[in-house]
Amino acid sequence: MMERSKRTSVSFGATGMICIAAMSMLVGEGLAQDWDDWDEYDEESYVSQRKGVEFAVNFGVYQANHQAANAFYNGYAGETYELGDNTARLMTIEDRLGVDSPNSIVWSQIMNSIGLEAGEFKYIEYPAYTGMRYTPGTLMGLQTMLFFNPESAFVLHLDAINGLKSEGGWNIVSSDVDTGMGSENRRTYGIFSEEDRFQLSLAYRTAAYITDEVSWVIELGGNMLATRLKSNYVRIENQNYQLLTAPIGNGNFANPTSSLSATGFGGFAALGLELFFEEGGNLMLTARVSRDRVVMGTYEDDLWQGALYLTWVIPPQLGDFVRARF
């Protein structure tokens, strides 16, 4: 654990220094530019006066890297990884169902529910490495932008991806006990997971104006990704069997006592378009790619993630009204 923490700290430190250096160079270049180009704008216009703090609301679609689900939620990851919880652990499907326990109450109930007789069961067939896939998740968040001029700003993102899910399939393989030489019979069932993710991002933003109403937007910065595990379970005949648990006897299982949260660091880049309105309230459509250290229990890996943002920039007049009220 100490060695892994050192690696994470070194990685974060290196990423942070690179981002800070890049931001400093870009800011220096931006501040050194000649802003005479803005003389053609009305001095009272929103664009030419864009300086100071602005706030925005993010809505989006988030796509996590399938490799994390394939590695951690596949039903046999409990042989390799731990949850880091005082009570529960990451169980394999075989352990959770009690396949190898002759007196297992859970396995007896399952055999009855699927019509499996003693001696017919052969083995559990787990998902392949590409068997678990994340479904796109909904992203919501806020961002604060500190503008030095219409083209340069620092941006702070706070985004939450709640209920991020993955799913796959696995098989109970059996044979015909009467003949002993029959073909294998595969019963396919689902395996599912759910987690929450939260990301905090700090970036430098620059803009390239296409027309008076539209500009390109580019962001480059660092990212902190926190992941909280919620569930990992298999479903058999409409009955769910949680894998993030531990047996306590008599067919009963204990739930985790900790939040099952962990944090990793990385970086991101984003490219988008901003559409301006005369009184503010701009809209931005942005595509973002990040390279994050995903940490779940003792599992860690640097993975690519993707997101598509639709952002509404709160009009300055509304911001002035809120500040005046509070």
Q: What's the chain's average pLDDT?
A: 83
pLDDT band at 48 (very low <50, low <70, confident <90, very high): low
User: What's the residue count for the chain?
Assistant: 326
Which is higher by pLDDT, 66 or 184?
A: 66
Residue 94 CB contacts under 8 Å (≥ 6 apart), including other chains: 76, 100, 124
Phi and psi (nearest 5°) for 13?
-60, -45
- Of 46-50, 70-74, 98-102, 247-251, the poorest mean pLDDT is in 46-50
Chain segment 244-280, per-residue pLDDT in tens: 998 887 778 888 989 999 999 999 999 999 998 876 6
Which is higher by pLDDT, 46 or 26?
A: 46
Chain segment 99-129, per-residue pLDDT in tens: 988 778 899 999 999 988 878 889 999 876 5
Long-range interactions of 319-326: CB distance < 8 A, separation 24+: 319/53, 319/54, 319/55
* Whole-number pLDDT of residue 230: 96
Nearest to 193 by CA among 160, 223, 168, 170: 168
**Which domains does the chain carry?**
2-325 (2.40.160.20)
* Whole-number pLDDT of residue 177: 57
pLDDT band at 39 (very low <50, low <70, confident <90, very high): low
* Whole-number pLDDT of residue 101: 81
What percent of the chain stands above pLDDT 70?
78
The pTM assigned to this predicted structure is: 0.81
* Whole-number pLDDT of residue 248: 82
The pLDDT of 207-233, averaged and rounded, is 95
pLDDT band at 315 (very low <50, low <70, confident <90, very high): confident
DSSP structure class, residue 92: -
The pLDDT of 9-14, averaged and rounded, is 42
The pLDDT of 48-74, averaged and rounded, is 93
The pLDDT of 167-193, averaged and rounded, is 82
